[in-house]
Amino acid sequence: MEELVHTSQVSDNFLQRHYEFGGDFRRRNNIFVLPETNQVVYSTGNAVVFQEFPPAGSEAAVKDDVYKQTVYYGRLGRGVCCIALHPEGKLLAVAEAGSPPKVFIYS
């Protein structure tokens, strides 16, 4: 069996792990940055996800286990069809699919 020889000139830390499974980012305004909390909020399926990121350049930013994720599931179980963030970043509207759709406002 031949030995595999690593000949790449690319350093091992060239890539960083960033992931999200199930998000529908073809929709307009489906992901927002919360201005004061280092968080990103997005909807996926029947949930709204708050993804926390450490400040850039901090020691925590280079560790794999520091990306805290909080998931809030829809109240009615019909799927989250859209979210909206108030311009000041203090209120989040979550609309669930259905006829008529239900809209919930969170602070």
Assess contact for 54 and 39: CB atoms under 8 A.
no
pTM summary value = 0.67
The ranges assigned to domains in the chain are: 31-106
For the stretch 3-58, pLDDT in tens is 555 555 555 555 454 555 666 667 777 888 887 788 889 888 888 888 887 776 66
Distance CA 53, CA 39 (A): 6
Say what the pLDDT of residue 73 is: 84
Provide the pLDDT confidence category of residue 91 given band limits of 50, 70 and 90.
very high
